[in-house]
Structure 1
Amino acid sequence: MPKVSVIIPVYNGAATIGRALASAFAQTFTDYEVVVVNDGSTDATSSVLAGYGDRIRVVTQANRGLPAARNSGIRASSGEYVAFIDDDDEWLPQMLERCAAVLDEDAECGLVYAGALKVDLAGRPMPDQGSENDDIDSPTMEQMLARPWVVVPSRVMVRRTILDRCEGFDERCVVACEDVFFLLRARECGYFRRVPEILVRKSTRPLYPKALKREQAGELLVRLVRERYGASAAGFIRGYRQARMRVMKHTARILMEEGRPRDARRCLARVIAYQPASPKAYRRYLRTFLPVRAIRATSNSEDSEA
């Protein structure tokens, strides 16, 4: 039985899956297996995966979304520890070695996560590398419910016993937010530790339309968190909605700069939903109906309201 199971969910990732697999095969830690879950891909993903032969185990299923794909990979794997990597991300060579060492040394630790460098689709570092979690090495449950605490799965290695106890990823979160809810439930079962080194290159895709699609998933997350944790999650819910509002504002600003007022309007409608009593929210929305030339002429005024 391998020490670590590497789970890679992929949907239409023929162009990117090779990069993730190459980073897995380049690990200094060698006691692992690789399970790739082809989640109903309609591109050449199947052919690409077939080229790896017995170096990987492939699970093929109808498209059911990321949480179901990860859960299928968990069930098909056998390692004591489980590490996740998305098909468009990359690990640095010591990712598995450093994370497994923490779990080996600390039997009470349920999950370990590494630092990440955010890159665009061309592999260039993004200008904003900040994280609101940088000041927390081992969050308490109270801290995780006081404000949103986000660590993407590509940064995570977790004990299988923890996955069994928290029942993996919630498959109701089909579109997004499954990772946030998973971390909360995993923290109920054991504490976390952080490896401070940057060991992951996390790909960042354009915000639109991804950010807008996440809105419905975000409201589902709020409902699930409220049902599970009640009043103790008030800070989390408030902070999560504030963060979503900021994303919608930022996305709308980018779309306006690109001359796409109709798309910006959709994002600003969500800002109004978050801030129904804000005059600025309505002014931003109404500006999207102006001619493009007039929008550009008032862009400085818009920036001062952000």
Structure 2
Amino acid sequence: MKISAIIPTFNRAHLVCNAIESVLKQSYKVDEVIVVDNNSTDNTIKVIKEKYPEVIILEEKIQGVSNARNKGILNARNKWIAFLDSDDEWMPQKIELQVNNVKKSKNKVFFIHTNEIWMMNDKFLNQKKKHKKLEGYIFEKSLNMCTISPSSVLINDELFKKYGVFNDRLKVCEDYELWLRITSKVPVSLIKKPCVIKYGGHFDQLSKKYWGIDRFRVKALEKLLLYYKLKIEQKKSMLSVLLNKIDIIICGAKKRGNIKVVRIYNFKKKYWSNKLRLLNE
């Protein structure tokens, strides 16, 4: 089983080397390491070229982590792809444990993720119950929030061919939207041992850049309901979650006196409530 690791990065010369080192130190050798630079203006590319001549560097001019990851997927030479954000690190046995899981399943597993350790400003961060990692058919349990970290994923590229790649029109929640597409069709496997260290608190993290993350989840859910083939019960579950998120946004907008947002999301609420009513008839 040959693995291609894809690391998207933007202005992280000070962090990306730690990510690359964690890939190169895997107990199961990663066949191909691809770093996709997304218009860095620091010395990211120079640092990688000097320290890691074996690493393939691609440049993606269209800004956005989805574009960067998708370029890596398109250019990867192997069927099995693992993602790693440039501010995260893999534990040494991460890929070995995932490969063993795939082989044990007699190649019936196509999507496998792992547990993870969270660090915030160099301190261990406890995860809440809602962040518990899941396995099997997890679609319904993944509707409220993203339950799979891209840095933990090992995935067969057949799933991209069947269900598509990352949605480059979503500034954030692009992983949430793709995982919903995939988990609506196939089960996922889980390595319960933490195999990824996720570092938070960086000034340039996307979750800090945009307010109201539920706005992007709403956008993702709407796109799936409009353009993606789902079972009736899946649509009902998705609509219930969507309407709840819309209510949360409306409530917050009212508190802030943002009449424009209230008006927009009241329209959405009316539209999607009618869709749910029709499905229940």
Structure 1 residue 186: deviation in Å? 1.6
Asked whether the equivalents of residues 4 and 82 of structure 1 are also in contact (C-alpha less than 8 Å), the reply is yes
The TM-score normalised by the length of structure 1 is 0.72
Give the aligned residue type for 2:74: R
Aligned residue pairs total: 247
Match of 1:286 in 2: none
Give the aligned residue type for 2:153: V
The reply to whether residue 138 of structure 1 matches residue 136 of structure 2 is yes
The reply to whether residue 202 of structure 1 matches residue 207 of structure 2 is no
Asked whether the equivalents of residues 162 and 189 of structure 1 are also in contact (C-alpha less than 8 Å), the reply is no
Structure 1 residue 237: deviation in Å? 2.1
Structure 1 residue 100: deviation in Å? 1.5
Q: 1:193 aligns with which of 184, 189, 192?
A: 189
Deviation digits for residues 169-214 of structure 1, max 9, x if unmatched? 11111x2000001111122442101100011111112688435174
Tell me whether 212-221 or 24-33 shows the greater mean CA deviation.
Answer: 212-221
The TM-score normalised by the length of structure 2 is 0.78
Give the aligned residue type for 1:157: L
Q: Quick one: distance in 2 between partners of 1:153 and 1:81?
A: 14
Match of 1:179 in 2: 175
RMSD of the alignment, in Å? 2.6
Match of 1:56 in 2: 55
Give the aligned residue type for 1:6: A
Larger radius of gyration: 1
Q: Quick one: distance in 1 between partners of 2:117 and 2:127?
A: 7
Q: Quick one: distance in 1 between partners of 2:110 and 2:129?
A: 22
Give the aligned residue type for 1:182: L
Taking the TM superposition and a 5 Å limit, the aligned residue runs for 1:175-254 are 175-205=171-201, 209-212=208-211, 214=213, 216-227=215-226, 228=228, 229=230, 230-238=235-243
SS of the residue 1:51 aligns to: helix
Q: Quick one: distance in 1 between partners of 2:256 and 2:157?
A: 49
Q: 1:215 to 1:11 in 2, by over 3 A?
A: farther
Q: Quick one: distance in 2 between partners of 1:59 and 1:216?
A: 31
Identity %: 21
Structure 1 residue 215: deviation in Å? 5.6
Q: 1:216 to 1:95 in 2, by over 3 A?
A: same
Structure 1 residue 233: deviation in Å? 0.6
Match of 2:127 in 1: 129
The reply to whether residue 68 of structure 1 matches residue 67 of structure 2 is yes
SS of the residue 1:200 aligns to: strand
Q: Quick one: distance in 1 between partners of 2:245 and 2:129?
A: 14
Match of 2:267 in 1: none
Structure 1 residue 136: deviation in Å? 3.2
Asked whether the equivalents of residues 90 and 200 of structure 1 are also in contact (C-alpha less than 8 Å), the reply is yes
Q: 2:252 aligns with which of 254, 272, 286?
A: 272
Match of 1:113 in 2: 113
Give the aligned residue type for 2:161: D
Give the aligned residue type for 2:127: Q
Q: Quick one: distance in 1 between partners of 2:149 and 2:32?
A: 21
Asked whether the equivalents of residues 159 and 182 of structure 2 are also in contact (C-alpha less than 8 Å), the reply is yes
Tell me whether 45-54 or 197-206 shows the greater mean CA deviation.
Answer: 45-54
SS of the residue 2:42 aligns to: coil
Structure 1 residue 64: deviation in Å? 2.1
Deviation digits for residues 47-106 of structure 1, max 9, x if unmatched? 112113432101012142011100100111112211100000011001111112112222
Q: 1:189 to 1:100 in 2, by over 3 A?
A: farther
Give the aligned residue type for 1:218: R
Asked whether the equivalents of residues 111 and 155 of structure 2 are also in contact (C-alpha less than 8 Å), the reply is yes
Deviation digits for residues 24-53 of structure 1, max 9, x if unmatched? 111101142100000111111111121134
